[in-house]
């Protein structure tokens, strides 16, 4: 066996596992809002800045528009967002929060701290979480720069 092919030597497996486990921790936190994790990500983008084109939301989430469109349709069906054609460019679809979507922000305000409690321990503190986030941002930037085909969710 080649040592570089051992599962324990795969950094990507650790990322995959952490991502999957964090998503599982989010599930009960998001259940009260009636959101899935991907829908929550869309809401985070809209809570930062309301009334955005679908393309801008997709870019912010590093996803393709055909991935977030079904999410937006479900959020719209739930009365959380509304979509309308752009006034300047009819090809553009603008997504905005409804009153229900805006009110959800106050309900969601404690979710990040609740999630943080799930992995904070003697060895992982809020400070080290900030360091981890910076390192991950650097990795994301490097991967996007060095591997343009990796952008989005192709």
Span 33-71, pLDDT tens digits: 999 999 999 999 999 999 999 999 999 999 999 999 999
Nearest to 80 by CA among 58, 57, 61, 105: 105
Residue with tokens 């321990």: 121
Secondary structure, 3-state, 6-59: CHHHCHHHHHHHHHHHHHHHHHHHHHCCCCCHHHHHHHHHHHHCCCEEHHHHHH
Q: Which residue ranges make up each domain of the chain?
A: 3-119, 120-154
| pTM metric for this prediction | 0.87
Instruction: Output the six-digit token pair for 114.
Output: 């609740």
Residue 153 is predicted with a pLDDT of 61
Given a contact cutoff of 8 angstroms between Cβ atoms, the answer to whether 80 and 71 are in contact is: no
CATH of 3-119, one of 1.10.3370.10, 3.40.50.1100, 1.10.10.10, 3.40.50.720: 1.10.10.10
* Chain segment 61-108, per-residue pLDDT in tens: 999 999 999 999 999 999 999 999 988 777 899 999 999 999 999 999
Residue 124's pLDDT is what?
73
User: How many helices, marked H, and strands, marked E, lie in the chain?
Assistant: 7, 3
Q: Which helix (H) or strand (E) holds 97?
A: strand 93-97
């Amino acid at each position: 066996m080649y040592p570089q092919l051992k599962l324990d030597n795969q950094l990507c497996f650790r990322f995959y596992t952490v991502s999957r486990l964090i998503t599982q921790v989010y599930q009960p936190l998001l259940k009260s809002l009636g959101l899935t994790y991907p829908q929550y990500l869309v809401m985070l983008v809209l809570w930062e800045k309301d009334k955005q084109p679908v393309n801008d939301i997709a870019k912010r989430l590093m996803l393709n528009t055909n991935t977030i469109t079904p999410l937006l349709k479900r959020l719209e069906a739930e009365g959380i967002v509304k979509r309308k054609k752009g006034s300047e460019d009819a090809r553009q679809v603008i997504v905005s929060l409804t009153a229900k979507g805006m009110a959800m922000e106050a309900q969601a305000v404690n979710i990040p701290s609740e999630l943080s409690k799930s992995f904070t321990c003697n060895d992982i503190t809020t400070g080290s979480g900030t360091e981890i986030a910076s390192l991950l941002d650097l990795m994301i930037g490097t991967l996007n720069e060095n591997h343009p085909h990796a952008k989005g969710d192709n």
